[in-house]
Structure 1
Amino acid sequence: MDQLSAPAVTALREAQNTLIEHSLDRISAALPWYHTLSSASRDQIQKVARVGVTMFVDSVGERGAEVDPSGIFNVAPVALTGAVTLEQTLDLVRTVVDVVEEEAPNVVPAAGHDAVRVRVLTFGRDVGFAAAKVYARVAEARGAWDARLESVAVDAMLHDSADDAATRAGAAGWRGTGPVVAIVARTVLDALATSRLRHECRQWAQDCLVSVHSDSVIVVLGGDSADETTDAAAQRTQLLAAADRIAVELDGAVVIGPVVDGVAQAGRSLRSALAGLRALPGWAEAPNPVRADDLLPERLLDGDPLAVEQIRALVTEPLREMGELYEETVATYLALGRSLEMTARTLFVHANTVRYRLGRVSKQTGWDATDARDGLVLHLAVIVGRLAAGNSH
């Protein structure tokens, strides 16, 4: 590209301040969002515009000074990328280029008009590419930092106190006070897939944390708090539905933990899901995804203390509350190989009475003694209850 003549360069230098002022005036008049920014952000934008025009003039000097367009943004702090979007930055660049393209050719001799116009457009293009690179680097750094904060929060849920877990989650952007559920998947995700997963989670849940390990992914979801129109039970149901939607999109084995009351208790759901994932090989016919509570037998045998607590809360205690007759009926029925007739003879009742009691138990606890899998859960619940009673004496 031919260099501009000395008179043309001199004329551009003399018009430099005028070009800057006219560019700032155009920015103020043409971009309504500019006035919504803080005074500090507007000052930074003005500095960027001044440096940009100055750098352009320097680049068209007789020796064609080498310039790095990304240097224009060195005068603006990284925080400015959070106040001004990439699209808005490109609008700024386009506005300044329009002013310089309109006015710069008119201040140089006629022979240099076309050369100046070409240089303006080329420089503007380079600045636009430079802006995109700056935003890409910032987004990458911000994404890496956010991912680090989320991983720290998840680690706190597993190993620290409830208060510390809530504090770490807040630092990672958690804002809600509604129910929480954890999902654990045995899968490998790259950075792009992780970003997509995080985006999808935010479509279905108010809050989310995503932590990627070498061979697994942890997702913690937070639902809306109960309000005048939706009660707590409905919120928990909605959160579980969101967890189901996300879980089916994950590859590999997936375990969904129980819903807990808030982010401070998230560790309980997360530890249950992880214990379920460890115990999953014990149930070859398990569905995928599977609830951690559906893996209570395998978790019990694997030594998970939370499984003991959970089976007592979900099965043993509700069964005990129904009365000794119902617990005895369930225990006898399961001990005798699920035979209605033998159970009836042993308990000296009619078979229909046994059938009735088992139906009541199924309705009360959610587990059906006549089903092989549910019967296993009930049998273990009876054993856990008896062990607890025996150890208390």
Structure 2
Amino acid sequence: MDQLSAPSVRALRQAQNTLIEHSLDRISAAHPWYRTLPAASRDQIQTVARLGVTMFVDSVGERITSTDPSEIFNVAPVALTGTVTLEQTLELVRTVVDVVEEEAPDVVPAADHDAVRVLVLTFGRDVGFAAAKVYARVAEARGAWDARLESVAVDAMLHDSAEDVATRAGAAGWRGTGPVIAIVARTVLDALATSRLRHECREFVQDCLVSVHGDSVIVVLGGASAPPEQVSEPSGDAALAAAARRVAGVLDGVVVIGPVVAGVAQAGRSLRSALAGLRALAGWAEAPNPVHADDLLPERLLAGDPLAAEQIRALVAEPLRNMGALYEETVATYLALGRSLEMTARTLFVHANTVRYRLGRVSKQIGWDATDARDGLVLHLAIIVGRLAADRDEQPSTMGQ
């Protein structure tokens, strides 16, 4: 930065306190939001403004060779960046620069008027850039800390109690109490892509957690608003499931969507189901993408996932058994005989239309169609799991014998 003559420097030093006071008066008068800040925050801003003017005067002194404008913000705590936005900080810098630009030339010899103006504008520009860098560093640190909190919350969903899960999620910013769904994708995201994903998620839902684990990304969603095509849909579960499909659509790689659960305390069930589905996905080469974890029940069951056994009983075996023995027997016989209507009818001593009717009722009521190869596999395994469970329940206890 060019240096001023010794008389100009002395004049600026003598006018320094006046420039500071006038700058603070202008800040208070020009920015209504400043007057609404807590007293401590106003004091910190005033300290920054005083140091800014002082550093400017020092920077034009004959013996000062360099000045780092970022040092101006060292006197203010990082917490101030959470109270005053970058835009507001730049407004304050502009206000101080305006005051100094207007008044400083009047206190120096006429020969240095233009030089002072140039020096003021240059210093103000450098301070503005320094402020942007400070806010960028704070944002980066805050983002890293938030990401850590989210990862801890996701880890709690896999390993901790429901109470701990709710606490960890709350610490990571989770505020909702409604249904929750988990998504797992096999993809690699850098910090920028992860931040962008969080932003996209919050366009669809109120709450989200994003955690990167090597080559996998975990997303937990809650509090979705119904999309336009479902504005008349009263179910929060349906709205959240639709939001999960939209989020899954922006993810690269293979994606597995877990089931909807009642709340964040139960999120681990949805997350474990999705992770188990991702591990078992290789068993179904024709699987769609994204795919629901419940559509991978056969592969998950064969891979030893205990949740799959519970889920297939709850979703398929028990509803089928509740329809009555005739329906379960019809489905079991139909599948055992290679999905032949005629052979099933002869075995059960009924008309083929009766078999067709019973299979149709099962498909309509529980959602799996025995005449479809994939659905038939689910039904067949569900019947086996249900019968094994019933047999275990009927076995007399041998404890104590």
TM interval, short-chain normalised? over 0.9
Kindly, what percent of the aligned residue pairs are identical?
A: 86
Aligned CA distance change for structure 1 residues 233 and 316 (closer, same or farther; 3 Å): farther
- Equivalence map 1:74-223=2 (5 Å): 74-223=74-223
Partner SS state of residue 235, structure 2: helix
CA contact (8 A) 1:176 1:207 kept: yes
Q: CA deviation at 1:232?
A: 9.7
CA contact (8 A) 1:297 1:380 kept: yes
Q: CA deviation at 1:249?
A: 1.2
Q: Deviations over 1:294-331 (max 9, x none)?
A: 00000000000000010011001111111111111110
Q: Which residue of structure 1 aligns with residue 380 of structure 2?
A: 379
CA contact (8 A) 1:20 1:50 kept: yes
Partner SS state of residue 259, structure 1: coil
Q: Where in structure 2 are there 5+ consecutive unaligned residues?
A: 396-401
Q: Which residue of structure 2 aligns with residue 6 of structure 1?
A: 6
Q: Which residue of structure 2 aligns with residue 73 of structure 1?
A: 73
For residues 364 and 233 of structure 1, the distance between their equivalents in structure 2, rounded to whole angstroms, comes to 21
Q: Which residue of structure 1 aligns with residue 345 of structure 2?
A: 344
Aligned CA distance change for structure 1 residues 32 and 130 (closer, same or farther; 3 Å): same
Q: Deviations over 1:249-286 (max 9, x none)?
A: 11111000000000000000000000000000000000
For residues 216 and 46 of structure 1, the distance between their equivalents in structure 2, rounded to whole angstroms, comes to 47
1:62 counterpart = 2:62: yes
For residues 267 and 261 of structure 1, the distance between their equivalents in structure 2, rounded to whole angstroms, comes to 11
1:37 counterpart = 2:37: yes
CA contact (8 A) 2:205 2:225 kept: no
**Partner amino acid, structure 1, of 2:23:** S
CA contact (8 A) 1:184 1:218 kept: yes
CA contact (8 A) 1:23 1:96 kept: yes
- Equivalence map 1:229-240=2 (5 Å): 234-240=235-241
Q: Which residue of structure 2 aligns with residue 300 of structure 1?
A: 301
CA contact (8 A) 1:223 1:236 kept: no
CA contact (8 A) 2:225 2:240 kept: no
CA contact (8 A) 2:300 2:308 kept: yes
Q: CA deviation at 1:376?
A: 0.5
For residues 142 and 277 of structure 1, the distance between their equivalents in structure 2, rounded to whole angstroms, comes to 31
For residues 136 and 273 of structure 1, the distance between their equivalents in structure 2, rounded to whole angstroms, comes to 35
**Partner amino acid, structure 1, of 2:288:** P
Partner SS state of residue 206, structure 1: strand
For residues 311 and 26 of structure 1, the distance between their equivalents in structure 2, rounded to whole angstroms, comes to 70
TM-align CA RMSD: 1.5
CA contact (8 A) 1:12 1:104 kept: yes
Aligned CA distance change for structure 1 residues 233 and 257 (closer, same or farther; 3 Å): farther
For residues 216 and 2 of structure 1, the distance between their equivalents in structure 2, rounded to whole angstroms, comes to 54
Q: Which residue of structure 2 aligns with residue 286 of structure 1?
A: 287
Per the normalisation by structure 1, the TM-score is 0.97
1:26 counterpart = 2:23: no
Q: Which residue of structure 2 aligns with residue 327 of structure 1?
A: 328
The range that moved more, 352-361 or 261-270, is 352-361
Q: CA deviation at 1:3?
A: 2.0
Q: CA deviation at 1:224?
A: 5.0
For residues 19 and 232 of structure 2, the distance between their equivalents in structure 1, rounded to whole angstroms, comes to 61
For residues 225 and 110 of structure 1, the distance between their equivalents in structure 2, rounded to whole angstroms, comes to 65
Q: Deviations over 1:56-115 (max 9, x none)?
A: 111111223522101110111111101111111111101100000000000111111111
For residues 40 and 270 of structure 1, the distance between their equivalents in structure 2, rounded to whole angstroms, comes to 44
Q: CA deviation at 1:31?
A: 1.3
Q: CA deviation at 1:36?
A: 2.4
Aligned CA distance change for structure 1 residues 37 and 245 (closer, same or farther; 3 Å): same
CA contact (8 A) 2:225 2:239 kept: no
Q: CA deviation at 1:37?
A: 1.6
For residues 225 and 381 of structure 1, the distance between their equivalents in structure 2, rounded to whole angstroms, comes to 34
Partner SS state of residue 303, structure 1: coil
Q: May I ask how many residue pairs the two structures share in their alignment?
A: 390
Q: Deviations over 1:120-177 (max 9, x none)?
A: 0110011001001100100110011010110010000001111111111111000000
Q: Where in structure 1 are there 5+ consecutive unaligned residues?
A: none
**Partner amino acid, structure 1, of 2:34:** Y
Q: Which residue of structure 2 aligns with residue 259 of structure 1?
A: 260
**Partner amino acid, structure 1, of 2:311:** Q
**Partner amino acid, structure 2, of 1:374:** D
The range that moved more, 197-206 or 64-73, is 64-73
Q: Which residue of structure 2 aligns with residue 250 of structure 1?
A: 251
Aligned CA distance change for structure 1 residues 198 and 225 (closer, same or farther; 3 Å): closer
Q: CA deviation at 1:225?
A: 9.5
**Partner amino acid, structure 2, of 1:148:** R
For residues 51 and 65 of structure 2, the distance between their equivalents in structure 1, rounded to whole angstroms, comes to 15
**Partner amino acid, structure 1, of 2:222:** G
| Runs (4+) off by over 2 Å | 230-233
Partner SS state of residue 354, structure 1: helix
Partner SS state of residue 79, structure 1: helix
Q: Deviations over 1:332-378 (max 9, x none)?
A: 11111111111111111111111111111111110001100001101
For residues 179 and 219 of structure 1, the distance between their equivalents in structure 2, rounded to whole angstroms, comes to 14
